[in-house]
C-alpha cells in the first residue's frame, strides 16, 4: 500500500509587547469616565449616546455601554463600573 508522507519545516514568528500593568493607563489618566452610582440618563447627558449597547443580561440585569475609550457597566439603571478599553499597540 502506497502512502504519501509530507514533511516540511514551518516557522512562525510573533512579537510580544509587554507593558507593566501599572503603566497601561498612565498616558490616558485624564480621560473622564462615568462614576459609580450615576444613572443611564446622567451618563448619556455627559458622554452622549454609546457607540454600542449589550444587554441587559442576567439577574440582576447587567448592561454594557461601549464608548470610544471605555466601557460602562450598569446594574439596572446605575453605573457599577467603568473601565478603559485596552490600547491598540
Q: Are 80 and 74 in contact (CB under 8 A)?
A: yes
Mean pLDDT of the chain: 84
Residue in the structure block whose three cell numbers are 443580561: 57
- Burial class of residue 79 in the structure, from the number of CB atoms within 10 Å of its CB (0-12 exposed, 13-18 middle, 19+ buried): buried
Residue 4: pLDDT band with limits 50, 70, 90: low
CA 48 to chain centre: 18
pTM of this structure:
0.68
Q: Could you read off the pLDDT of 59-88 as tens digits, one per residue?
A: 999 999 999 999 999 999 999 999 999 875
- Domains of the chain: which residue ranges? 33-84
CB 78 within 8 A of CB 63: no
Inform me whether the pLDDT recorded for 12 exceeds 90: no
Tell me the average pLDDT across 12-31.
65
Provide mean pLDDT across the span 43-54.
98
Amino acid at each position: 500500500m502506497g502512502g504519501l508522507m509530507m514533511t516540511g519545516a514551518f516557522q512562525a514568528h510573533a512579537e510580544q509587547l509587554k507593558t507593566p500593568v501599572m503603566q497601561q493607563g498612565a498616558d490616558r489618566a485624564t480621560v473622564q469616565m462615568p462614576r459609580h452610582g450615576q444613572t443611564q440618563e446622567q451618563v448619556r447627558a455627559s458622554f452622549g449616546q454609546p457607540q454600542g449597547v449589550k444587554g441587559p443580561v442576567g439577574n440582576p440585569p447587567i448592561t454594557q455601554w461601549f464608548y470610544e475609550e471605555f466601557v460602562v457597566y450598569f446594574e439596572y439603571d446605575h453605573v457599577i463600573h467603568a473601565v478603559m478599553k485596552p490600547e491598540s499597540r
